[in-house]
Amino acid sequence: MISYIIVFFLLIIGVIIWQFRSNTHFLRLSNQEYPELSLSVLISKKERKIDQFIVRVNAKQQLSLQQIKFELISPERAFQYISSHEISDTHTFPNEIGSSDIYEATYSYEKLKDIITTRMSNLSSFRMVVELQNNKLYKSHELKFDNLWKIYKADSGRYN
């Protein structure tokens, strides 16, 4: 009888530890340094599945962020753009960012995946494009999806 109680308590402790360990993890896919800003692309994983796609702009000087776009690249290197407004309505542009401030745009991974599959059937890779005042464009590294819809940096081949 005592052994059943010990096994039961060990099982409860195991479930509690598993719940604490299954929190959200953030993984950086790309980080580009420019004189005006630092552009990072991250994903958040919850319970080992990609939950959110995050674009982080760290301003090094006063900036006016006009928009964020997803640049879809076909195998023939033809470009197609998705505005961030099509994926999420929560971000308003233009947005003023002060010196050494951080602007973070978060997008639902499932909604992004659905829009990409309906918009472009033969996607080779994609990258994030941040447009500032005077039509200055800043781009992230090229990112790719594998057959299981995991994202990886095309240059390195390292998976998330």
Mean pLDDT (10-residue bins), the chain, 160 residues? 83 78 77 90 83 89 88 85 78 80 87 80 81 88 73 58
Q: Is the pTM of the predicted complex or chain greater than 0.85?
A: no
Residues 6+ apart with CB under 8 A from 108: 52, 53, 87, 88
> Which pLDDT score is estimated for 160?
46
> Which pLDDT score is estimated for 12?
86
How far from 142 is each of 20, 29, 47, 71, 96, CA to CA, in Å? 34, 10, 26, 9, 26
The domains of the chain, with CATH numbers, are: 24-153 (2.60.40.10)
